[in-house]
Structure formats: C-alpha cells, structure tokens
Chains A and B, each alone.
Chain A
Amino acid sequence: MSGIGLLLLRATRASLPAGARCLRTGRPCPAFAKELFMGKIETKDVFPFPEISNEELKEMNQFVGPVEKFFSEEVDSKKIDQDAKIPPETLNGLKNLGLFGMQIPEEYGGLGLSNTMYARLGEIISLDGSIGVTLAAHQAIGLKGILIAGTEEQKEKYLPKLASGEHIAAFCLTEPGSGSDSASIQSRAILSEDGKNFILNGSKIWISNGGIADVFTVFARTEVVDEDGDVKDKITAFIVERAFGGITHGKPEDKLGIRGSNTCEVHFENTQVPIENVVGEVGGGFKVAMNILNSGRFSMGSACAGMIKKLIEMTAEYACTRKQFNKKLSDFELIQEKFALLAQKAYVMESMAYLTAGMMDRPGVPDCSIEAAMVKVFSSEGAWTCVSEALQILGGLGYMKDYPYERYLRDCRILLIFEGTNEILRMYIALTGMQYAGKILTDKIKAIKRGHAGLALEMFWSRFRDSLGRKVDLGLVGKDGVVHSSLQESGKKLEENIYYFGFNVEGLLRRFGKTIVDEQLILKRVADILINLYAMTAVISRASRSISIGLRNHDHEVMLANLFCTEAYFKNNYAITELDKYAPENMDESIKRVAKQVLEKRAYVCSHPLERTF
C-alpha cells in the first residue's frame, strides 16, 4: 500500500505547477470535463441538453432571417477572396445589421447576445471565412478584454463605438519570437516619470484587423514590484487607441485562405498609453489573455457546423443530378458514405458547441475552458476533413476556382492553427484534467495517511471489485438513467469508456509522476479520448432531448448519435489499450526514434530505392 501511495503522491505532486500547493481552496466551479478524469460523469451539468427560453428562441429566429439574407444576397465571397479585401459597402452592411456588437451589452449599444445566441449567428457568419474572422478578431478577442476585465469607465468610453462598428478592434499578443508560447512576449511598457502614462514599444505580427483597427488590446511586459520588494517582469494588458500615436502597420499579409481578412504587423513606437487604459491589473495581463482566448473558442463549433450544413446542400444537389455509368452519384455507396460523414460531423459539432455555450450561459462563472478547447479541436479538424470530402464529391470540378470548394478548403485550414494550435490545445486539455485528477488523488492519499481508514478501504475495495470484472454503472442508462431508451447502447458505451479512462488517468499519474508533462504522445491520446467522451455525451444528451420533446426527424438524430458513439467507442478502446501499454509496445518509441534520426540529419534518411551496393 505504502509503495503505491508514495508513487501516487509523487505523481500527483508532479502534475501540479511549480509552487502550487496541494490545498483544497474552494473549487472554482469545475465544469463537466474535469470529472471525467476521475472516471466519473457529472450528469447534472450535461443532462438535459441546455435549452433557451421561447422568448429567446423567437428573438433568435428574428435575427437569423436578415443575417442569412444579407449573406446570401450581399456577400460576394469569390470577389472577397480574389481581391483580398472585404468591400467597404459589405462592411458597412455588417455594421448596420449590428454584427459588430453581438455580445456587447445593450446598455453600451450592442445586442447583448448570450453565448448560445452568438453561436447561432456564428453558423451564418462563417459562410464567408474572411468576414467570420474579421468579426471574430473584432469581438471574440479584440474587444473581449474590455468586456470581461474592463472598468466601467473603459466600457463606457470604448464599447458603444465598437458595438456600432464605428471603431474596429484587434487583439495584439503574437510576436515574431512568441507564438504559442505567449508568456515570452518582448513588447515592453514603461511607466513614464510622471506616472500618468505607459510608454509602449514593440512589434506584433499576424494581427487580424491590424491595418483597419482603431482600438487594440495589446499585451506587453511591465515591471511589477512584488510583496517582497523584488522587481519582476510581468505581462500587462492595455487598451491602445490608434490615435495615441506611434502606431504603424505593415502591408496586409498574402495568405492561403481567409484572404479578405486583414492580417498584418503592428508596431508600437513610444506609444503613450494612459494608466487608466490598463485592462485588469498591472501584471495580470497573462490571465486576461488566457481568459479572452478561452472564452471565444467554443463558437468555432457552430461556425464549422454552419459551413458543413451549407456544403451538404450544395454537394447533395450535385450528387443527385450528376450521372456516371448511368447512375446518379448519389446511388454510389462511396458517395453516400461521404454524406453520412458530413451529417454526422455537423451533428456532433452542433451538439458540442451548443452544449458548451449552454453551460457557459449558466449563472455564476463556470470555467468551460477545457470544453471550449475540445470543441475547437474537434470542429476545426472535422471541418478540414468535411470540406475536403465535399470537394471530393465534385471530383475535378471541386478543384476548380469556378467552384467555392477550394476556397472553403483554403479558408478553413487556419482553424487548426489560430486561437491556440490544436497541438497546444490538446496538451492544455490533457494537462488541465490531469492536474485536477492529481490534486484530488493527492488529497485522498493525504487523508489515508492521516489515518482515514475508510477511504483506504474504499479505494482498495473498488480496485478489488474491478479486478473481478465489475459492471459499470454511472447513472446514465437503465430505469433511472438520464439517457433515452433509444440510446441505451450508446450510453453504456460512454459509461464504459469513462470508467476505464479514469483508470488510465490514475495509472498514468502513478507511472510517470512528474514527467507526464513531457509525454506528449501520451497526452495526445488522453486529449483525444476526452474529446470523444465529451462529444459522445453531447450527442447522447441532445438526441435524448430531441426524442423526449418530439422534435422533427428525431429518429435521424438518434441514428447519427448511435453511429458516432459506436465509432468513438472503438477509437477510445484502442487508445485506452495503448495508454495501458508501455512505450515499446505502442510504437511511441519507434515514432520518436524515427523523428530523432530524421531531425538529426535534417533530411530524409533512407537511401534512394534505385541505389546499388554491388
């Protein structure tokens, strides 16, 4: 026992960031996903599937009409892509519609939309990638800092003009030497001698809206004196107006996709920023940046789903009319498979996005950053696959610039890169959960050490029962379960996956201890399982609701949900088995060795197949 205990302790301590203490200091409203790391499911967070009120629904339907009409009639995506510019009259139309202030509260001239309603409009706005990114850069990140961490004065001063679109916002974090590692930025702000201004210097790259923005949220290093009187470098967030002076920008970058969105370098040279324009606290900028990024990611789910739904309409029309070998394309199973894939992915993305948005809209400050990151990873990769498959349905035509598919493909490639690369987000998803699990396990071990015999017995007992092959029951299925009877099988699969995933996590913590943070191939699998678990939960919850209230075509939903859950279940089982294995068995060792040799040589290592030695 003590051996295991020690190992566990080492592991759990290691998974915490340096300096953190293993004290239980009032849990900050842990959202759903973290519990999965404990092999449990917090059903009340995700069942029933979140709903909006009839009032909101009516209002939403009112909003959808004109926005859809505007995008189908006034937006010429082909031209935007070709000219690499959104025409001013289109931008003005978007401003007039009110799309620049979707989440700004009504008292500041915005629409005050909830996350759910924002996600709904995102489905339409994403139909043009350039516009989608321009609007997101403005409000999902550009002005979000003022919204979530700004003072009343800052809100009053900036939000009304940002809501109307008179001013456009941009978010300036990335620097040439600082991409995913955003804590390493070099821009610096120094307090002026009179203490009234910060003098800002530095260069930012790849700033969306950088050339057209009037208001920037800028992150820069500042000197902060801590309690012990030591001077430390910490990041601070600032609201910087172009009018402050000393701001220049480079020419718009020539990009693969989202070509109509404005992306450029922004330089600050001795820009004077009044101290009132600090967002949040001096030195608290990194947290502000992370909060902004975490709060915006969920909307990628509905945006991608909106795009795929549109692609389904476009390609289905083609598949049902085009004939080859005297048969319609739609009669070929390999084409049918593609439509099943598109429908399934769209369904899963929608379910995840609206579940997450619904959780974020609950009272309190639920921390849904893991959930949002999962939505982002799943939907960006799903979108890439789906657009590629949609293009494939049209074959050669899909490759032509006369058709929009190649543009969609180029546009959606960025989704896997920006707002946190999928690689970084997978590490974030896995490590945040691991850290949480580690903390709880440490607490348990401590209790046992203090002589809490009951707990020790409980842990031992559950392990013993499992060794005998216990039936998993997490309260999802069965008579009192929250899952509808048509989805029982999927519910059972989910329960089983969650349960064994919990074991995985515990085992990994025990096995790797401190070094788990560096085991990226393992963490990737952990993240992938978690994403699948969340996706399964979302579709089961949504389909259960749809049947219960008798939504139109709910039987189709059940089919999609069961289809996805079965696929995900097998994938999870594979990953869970791999996680149980040690490196030589699961190929990780070979993968790393191959990469090492290639990278040492900085080239392909093998001899040419035509080469001879004799």
Chain B
Amino acid sequence: MAASGLRALVGVKRVIDYAVKVRVKPDKTGVVTDGVKHSMNPFCEIAVEEAVRLKEKKLVSEVIVVSCGPQQCQETIRTALAMGADRGMHVEIPPKDYENLGPFQVAKILAALAKKEGVNLVLLGKQAIDDDCNQTGQMTAALLDWPQGTFASEVTVDGEHLTVEREIDGGLETVQLKLPAVVTADLRLNEPRYATLPNIMKAKKKKIDVMKASDLGVELTSRVKVLSVEDPPQREAGVKVESVDALVAKLKESGHI
C-alpha cells in the first residue's frame, strides 16, 4: 500500500466553547446548552489540522470528517472543511438519543464508518472538553482491532507504519504502529490554523453526507445513566497567617498534617 493512498477519517465534536462559563441546569440533569456558544472541540481541531498537514505533505490523499449529533454539528463539519478537509459526514442523532450518546456509541459509529469508507487512519482528539471522557479513540481501536497511538505529540508516516510520539507521565514514549491505525491528538501535536473566511466560502461547495446511526447498523442504547450534574464547590476565601508556626498550627488544626 503506497503511503500517498492513505485515507483519513477525522472525528470532530461540537462542544460548548471553551471560553463560555458553563452553567448547570436547575434540575441537575446536565448543563445549559440552549443559546450557548458552541465550537469545535479544541483537540478535534488539532486532529483536523494534523490530517490536513499530512494531506499537504501528500501523505494522505483524502480527509473525511465526521460528527455525530444534532443538525448544528454541520457547522462544526463546515469549519473542518474550511480548514482543508475534503468532505464531511454527519451522523444525525435525535435529541433524545444525543443526551445518552457516550464514547462507546460514538466509537461504534466511527468503527462502522472506518470500515465502510475503507480508511486506513482514524484521527481523533484525545478527549472532548465537555465530558472529558478520553475513551472514544481507545474504544474505536478496540472495535476495529487496530493498533492505537494515543496522546500523540508527533506523528510521522513511514511506509506502512506510523511513528507516534506519545505524551506520557514524566516524558515521551515513541511507538510504531502498523497501518491501519487509530491516533488521538494531544495538545502539543500542532497549532491548528484558523478557518479563514475565503476558505469558508470555498468549503460551501464541499459535500456533507447525512446519515442515521441505524444506516450504519449501530445501536445507540446506553448502559450509563447520569444521576446528577453539579457545580464544583465554591472556593472559600483563604486566611493570611503571620508566621510559620501559625501556619503549622492551622494545618494541624484542619487535619492536613
């Protein structure tokens, strides 16, 4: 298999924008999303950027982006197309199912699409900033029975192999994967470009296929139930102490030492 024949599937998730102050719904079933600014998950942006760079280096011949969720996900797909992806796929999830859509369901969809499209590289963000699950990439690799390179900070294509530098506790680990493979992007992999306005205009012509999970034979029932979503406890004001002795006394008093 020639490297230039690589085809990449990139997952992009629409999440509440990182700059938004998230509010918990009064009934504690989740967070307020209505009328809140959404954008592409930053780690997914990094994954798209990496795929587009590989394409610019002629190591990848086609970049397909996919997003699972409500109608508005197409905006996220459009952003990826403006960044340089070739075409999009929108797996439309009804609002009811979307509430329970977790990494497992998304992994099943991604795996089914990877097979259907015959891609040999699945690029994902390491996690989404809304649920912080950090599972989709791993699960997708398992479902496909492909090797995985997670938390990637560098990816090099080397014939039929990928060399992935991974960010691990206290350092970097370099692994070699045999293609096809799943890679998830960490923060330092690259700095994603802006979707420029002229490119957004051009991306209008790019195609987005819309499908349902059932079209891919994927079942969306979830075995996970959210019991409660709550605000983190409010940080209380600190106290200033006069001396080291006072500090030690305070710490002892509060049971910290």
Question: Within 8 Å CB of A69, what residues of B?
Answer: 39, 194
- Closest A residue by C-beta to B38: A65
When chains A and B are docked, how far (Å) is the Cα of A439 from the Cα of B79? 54
Counting CB contacts under 8 A, is A97 at the interface? yes
When C-beta atoms are compared, the residue in chain A nearest to B200 turns out to be: A62
- Cβ-neighbour of B204 out of A59, A61, A72, A109 (below 8 A): A59
- Report if A99-B201 is in contact (Cβ < 8 Å); known contacts: A62-B78, A62-B79, A552-B34: no
Bound-state CA distance A99–B197 (Å) is: 8
Q: With A59-B204, A72-B19 in contact, do A98 and B197 touch (Cβ < 8 Å)? A: yes
CB distance from A74 to the nearest CB of B (A): 9
Q: Bound complex: CA of A98 vs CA of B194, how far in Å?
A: 11
Interface residues in A45-104 by Cβ distance below 8 A to B read 58-59, 61-63, 65-67, 69-70, 72, 93, 96-99, 102
B18-45 Cβ-contact flags toward A at 8 Å (1 or 0): 0100000000000000110001000000
- The residue on A at minimum CB distance from B19 is A72
The interface residues of chain A lying within 8 Å CB-to-CB of B230 are none
Q: Which among B19, B197, B201 is the interface contact of A66 at CB below 8 angstroms?
A: B197
Interface string of B67-81 (1 = CB under 8 A from A): 000000001001100
Q: Is the CB of A552 within 8 A of B35?
A: yes
Residues of B within 8 A of A62 (CB): 75, 78-79, 82, 195, 200
Distance (whole angstroms) from the CB of A418 to the closest CB of chain B? 26
Is A281 an interface position by the 8 A CB rule? no
| Min C-beta distance of A263 to chain B, whole Å | 27
**Residue from B75, B197, B200 having most chain A Cβ neighbours under 10 A:** B197
B197: which of A58, A61, A63, A552 is its contact (CB, 8 Å)? Answer: A63
The reply to whether B194 and A111 form a contact with Cβ atoms under 8 Å apart is no
Residue in chain A with minimal CB distance to B194 = A66
Asked if A589 is an interface residue, CB under 8 A from chain B, the answer is no
Judged by a CB distance under 8 angstroms, whether B198 is at the interface is: yes
State the CA gap A93–B204 with chains docked (Å): 22
Do the beta carbons of A96 and B194 come within 8 Å of each other? yes
CB B154 to nearest CB in A, in angstroms, measures 23
Chain A positions within 8 Å of B78 at CB level: 58, 62
Is there a chain B Cβ closer than 8 Å to A106's Cβ?
Answer: yes
Task: Report chain B residues within 8 Å CB of A99.
Answer: 197
B194 touches which of A61, A70, A553 (Cβ 8 Å): A70
B193 to chain A, nearest CB (A): 9
Pick from B34, B39, B204: contact of A65, CB under 8 Å: B39
Q: Are B194 and A97 in contact (CB under 8 A)?
A: yes
Our pick among B34, B79, B196 for the contact of A96 (Cβ within 8 Å) is B196
Residues of chain A within 8 A (CB-CB) of B82 are 62
CA distance A98 to B199 in the complex (A): 9
Q: Is the CB of A59 within 8 A of B200?
A: yes
> Which A residues touch B197, using CB under 8 A?
63, 66-67, 97-99, 102, 111
CA of A97 to CA of B201, assembled, Å: 11
Q: Is the CB of B204 within 8 A of A98?
A: no
A-B contact count (CB 8 A): 47
- Residue in B closest to A58 when the chains form the complex, CB atoms: B75
Closest Cβ neighbor of A313 among chain B residues: B21
B196 contacts which of A66, A72, A102, A553 (Cβ < 8 Å)? A66
> Which A residues are CB-close (under 8 A) to B200?
59, 62-63, 66
A61 to B194, CA, bound (A): 15
Q: Which of B183-235 contact A (CB under 8 A)?
A: 194-198, 200-201, 204
Known pairs A58-B75, A62-B79; A93 contacts B201 (CB<8 A): no
What chain B residues lie within 8 Å of A58 (beta carbons)? Answer: 75, 78
CB atoms of A111 and B201 under 8 A apart: yes
**Beta-carbon nearest neighbor of B39 in chain A:** A65
Q: Give A361 Cβ to nearest chain B Cβ, in Å.
A: 18
Chain B residues with CB under 8 Å of A97's CB are 194, 196-197
Across-interface contacts of B34 in A (CB, < 8 A): 552
How far does the alpha carbon of A109 sit from the alpha carbon of B196 in the complex, in Å?
Answer: 13
Would you give the shortest CB distance from A118 to chain B, in whole angstroms? Answer: 12
Query: B194 to chain A: closest CB distance in Å?
Result: 5
| A66 and B198 within 8 A (CB) | no
Collect the chain A residues with CB atoms within 8 Å of residue B198's CB.
98, 109, 111
User: CB-nearest residue of chain B relative to A98?
Assistant: B197
CA distance A121 to B82 in the complex (A): 18
A59 vs B197: C-alpha distance when bound (angstroms): 10
A76 to B196, CA, bound (A): 20
**Which A residues touch B194, using CB under 8 A?**
66, 69-70, 93, 96-97
CA distance A552 to B33 in the complex (A): 13
Contact indicator B75/A98 (Cβ below 8 Å): no
Say yes or no: B195 contacts A65, CB within 8 Å: yes
| B204 surroundings in chain A (CB, below 8 A) | 59
CA distance A58 to B78 in the complex (A): 10
Q: How far is the CB of A122 from chain B (nearest CB, A)?
A: 14
Residues A106 and B201 in contact, CB atoms below 8 Å apart: yes
Within 8 A of A (CB), among B41-84: 75, 78-79, 82
CA distance A93 to B193 in the complex (A): 10
Residue of A nearest to B35 (CB): A552
Show 30 A/B contacts (Cβ-Cβ < 8 Å), sorted by A: A58-B78, A59-B200, A59-B204, A61-B75, A62-B75, A62-B78, A63-B197, A63-B200, A66-B79, A66-B194, A66-B195, A66-B197, A66-B200, A67-B197, A69-B194, A70-B194, A72-B19, A93-B194, A96-B194, A96-B196, A97-B194, A97-B197, A98-B196, A109-B198, A111-B197, A111-B198, A111-B201, A552-B34, A552-B35, A553-B35
